[in-house]
Amino acid sequence: LQFLYLIAGRGGCTGAAEGFPRLPPGSSSRMLRGTLRLCQRAKCAVFGGAFDPPTHGHLACVQMLLDSDLADEVLVVPCGSRPDKVNLGDKLSRYVMTELAVNTHFEDNMNVKLCDWEYHAEGGIATYDLLQRLSKADPSKDYSFVVGSDWLTNAAGIPTWESDGGVTGPLLLSKYDFLVVPRPGYDVASAALSGYGPRFKWVTQDSASTVDISSTEIRQYVKDGAIERAKHHLPAAVYSYVRRMNLYHA
């Protein structure tokens, strides 16, 4: 990947005259495909959310992205305080739990990282502004935005979305891919997906990876005094943190 970034940082694929090695005669098609992959820009999927708390479902989603051909890297972005979600849990606890979940589930050589930009931003960062800032910070990568199929009910309103500079919804739809992760109970026909925007793509999955539970249900379990029901749906470190910090009680 370091080699990939070096190539991408020099403006894409380079020829032998620029130091990129020529393939020897008789090279196999596998070697050719591997060499071509080095020429491609790195694809980074931006996975934002409240993560209140992060569940095995969130981690399965990250793994699905890594296993697909749509992402080389996943950037997990817990949101900070948001005026449109007044009932969010404490942002520090949510960030710490997300960090615990990622760092205890994924090996350190896997391309999963956390971003704290939204955590530090007062009032949150608009999706378009976030993707633009990331693109400027590392122009060698192509960024995409991850959504669940349940989120598609809100997709019709994207053209009206605003950023600090005004309405940026149309720019968001035209400049960035949206990677749609299937959620149980929110089925959308593949042919209909393009109706939401020109750059919406399904993330294929193994049915075994589907986790039919939400963070909202986890919080309700705890509030109802049934925290043990949440245990099997949370990473062990997150479950321990919820208990130690006495989170989500009424």
Beta strands in 118-158 (DSSP E): 141-148
Q: What is the pTM of this model?
A: 0.80
Quote the mean pLDDT of the chain: 82
Look at residues 237, 221, 250 and name the one whose alpha carbon lies nearest to residue 96: 237
- Chain segment 123-174, per-residue pLDDT in tens: 889 999 999 999 999 999 999 999 988 888 777 688 888 888 899 999 999 9
Beta bridge partners of residue 180, listed in sequence order = 147, 202
Judge whether residue 219 has pLDDT over 70. Answer: yes
Burial class (CB in 10 A: 0-12, 13-18, 19+), 152: buried
More confident residue, 11 or 158: 158
CB-CB contact of 60 with 98 (8 Å): no
Would strands 200-202 and 177-181 be described as parallel, antiparallel, or unpaired?
Answer: parallel
Beta strands in the chain (DSSP E): 42-49, 73-78, 112-114, 141-148, 162-163, 166-167, 177-181, 200-202
Burial class (CB in 10 A: 0-12, 13-18, 19+), 28: exposed
Instruction: Enumerate residues 6+ apart whose C-beta is below 8 A from 225.
Output: none
CB-CB contact of 234 with 56 (8 Å): yes
Per-residue CA distances from 140 to 4, 62, 114, 163, 176 (Å): 9, 21, 18, 24, 15
The CA distance from 134 to 141, in Å, is 9
The pLDDT of residue 85: 78
Amino acid at 224: D
Look at residues 152, 146, 145 and name the one whose alpha carbon lies nearest to residue 195: 152
